[in-house]
Amino acid sequence: MAKTNVKSFDPSEKPAKNGWLLTLIFSLLSVFFVMPILVVLWNSFKVKSSINLTPFQLPNDKTFVGFENYIRGMQQINFFAAFVNTLTITVLSVIVIILCTSMCGWYIARVNSKGGNLIYFLFAFSMVIPFQMVMYTLSLVANRLGLTTPIGIVPVYLGFGAGLATFMFVGFAKSIPVEIEEAAMIDGCGACGIFFRVVLPIMKPTYITVAILETMWIWNDYLLPSLVLQSDYRTIPIAIQYLKGGYGTVDWGAMMAVLILAIIPIIVFYALCQKYIIGGVVAGAVKG
């Protein structure tokens, strides 16, 4: 019997032919995203007049001022106090969000009831409600309940961040084999033991993904803290606005410097954890 030579299909061959084109396209796109950050970076070392006249020109002997803009900007807005407030709000809010929503998502995925489905629907529905629709009543309720401090604003962020986080945790929890939890139950684990000893370690990719997304949102958020927090508790985005002077004047050198200081922590955090994002998002999109 004659043998037919059938060439097996390799999925990697087709992308390889157009690999250079995709690399070129994404390289050009990356320039558009990175260029604004670079412009802010080199302008943070220039004198104010040079920033206004030639913002796209690199610093030279006449325009370079070293770290003068950084020192002036940090002194004018009390940067360290704003940094502590922002860090406190971000860390506490992210911890509360991922802990509460992961437990809620696991419960919804395992308890197939009308009440659980209704809760899941409300969480999903909350993602499509514009913040502008509730910001007036939110600020009023937060003021009356005393949620106007870095600690008090944490439940507010939990309410706004629970929708997306719960949606992702439900999707991931449905992909976890029930047999693993049943084995832990036979060994004598209760509901809390099953979650913290079995489910939580398995959910690590989604935990990291949700933590990254929520951290980037809360760290850079301006509108919610400006509506809820007292004037004594300034976050970095709020404090930067105080670099604007009267009649629309802006100390661009100090503002550029403080912006660089504000984005460095979030860039470092994202760079350390970005490899988990794709895995967590894909896992959270699995349907049970």
Report whether pLDDT(217) > 60.
yes
Question: Is 2 a domain residue?
Answer: no
Measured between alpha carbons, how far is 117 from 49 in angstroms, rounded to an integer?
59
pLDDT in tens, 28-47: 888 888 888 898 999 889 98
Are residues 265 and 159 part of one domain? yes
Residue with tokens 């999903």: 124
Range of the domain at 118: 72-284
Report whether pLDDT(76) > 50.
yes
Are residues 183 and 167 part of one domain? yes
CB 276 within 8 A of CB 205: yes
Measured between alpha carbons, how far is 84 from 127 in angstroms, rounded to an integer?
29
Measured between alpha carbons, how far is 260 from 43 in angstroms, rounded to an integer?
10
Q: What does the DSSP 8-state code read for residue 274?
A: G
Question: Among residues 51, 68, 85, which one ends one of the domains?
Answer: 68
Measured between alpha carbons, how far is 145 from 248 in angstroms, rounded to an integer?
36
pLDDT in tens, 228-258: 998 889 999 999 888 876 666 788 888 899 9
Residue with tokens 């390799």: 10
Please give the pLDDT value at position 189.
84
218: pLDDT confidence band, cut at 50, 70 and 90?
very high
Are residues 99 and 64 part of one domain? no
Helices (H), 78-203: 79-110, 114-126, 135-145, 154-174, 178-186, 191-194, 200-202
The mean-pLDDT minimum among 19-33, 62-76, 108-122, 269-283 falls in 269-283
Report whether pLDDT(287) > 50.
no
Measured between alpha carbons, how far is 190 from 98 in angstroms, rounded to an integer?
21
The mean-pLDDT minimum among 45-54, 133-142, 246-255 falls in 246-255
219: exposed, middle or buried (Cβ count in 10 Å: 0-12, 13-18, 19+): buried
Question: Among residues 68, 85, 112, which one ends one of the domains?
Answer: 68
Looking at every residue in the chain, the average pLDDT score rounds to: 84
Are residues 112 and 33 part of one domain? no
Residue with tokens 């003021």: 143
Question: Among residues 50, 68, 86, which one ends one of the domains?
Answer: 68
Please give the pLDDT value at position 284.
47
Report whether pLDDT(93) > 50.
yes
| Three-state DSSP state, 214 | helix
Measured between alpha carbons, how far is 208 from 79 in angstroms, rounded to an integer?
28
Are residues 136 and 151 part of one domain? yes
Question: Is 90 a domain residue?
Answer: yes
Are residues 183 and 62 part of one domain? no
Are residues 54 and 172 part of one domain? no
- The CA-atom distances, in angstroms, between 170 and each of 119, 175, 179, 281, 283 are 11, 9, 17, 12, 10
Please give the pLDDT value at position 270.
82
Measured between alpha carbons, how far is 181 from 250 in angstroms, rounded to an integer?
59
16: pLDDT confidence band, cut at 50, 70 and 90?
low
* C-alpha R_g of the chain: 25
Q: What percentage of the chain reaches a pLDDT higher than 70?
A: 88
Can you tell me the mean pLDDT for 130-152? 88
Question: Is 109 a domain residue?
Answer: yes
Are residues 55 and 122 part of one domain? no
Please give the pLDDT value at position 94.
95
* Tally of domains within the chain: 2
Please count the other Cβ atoms lying within 10 Å of the Cβ belonging to residue 161: 23
Can you tell me the mean pLDDT for 142-157? 91
Are residues 144 and 38 part of one domain? no
Are residues 80 and 64 part of one domain? no
Q: How far is CA 238 from the centre of its chain?
A: 18
Q: How far is CA 224 from the centre of its chain?
A: 15
169: pLDDT confidence band, cut at 50, 70 and 90?
very high
209: pLDDT confidence band, cut at 50, 70 and 90?
confident
Are residues 257 and 144 part of one domain? yes
CATH code of the domain covering residue 266: 1.10.3720.10
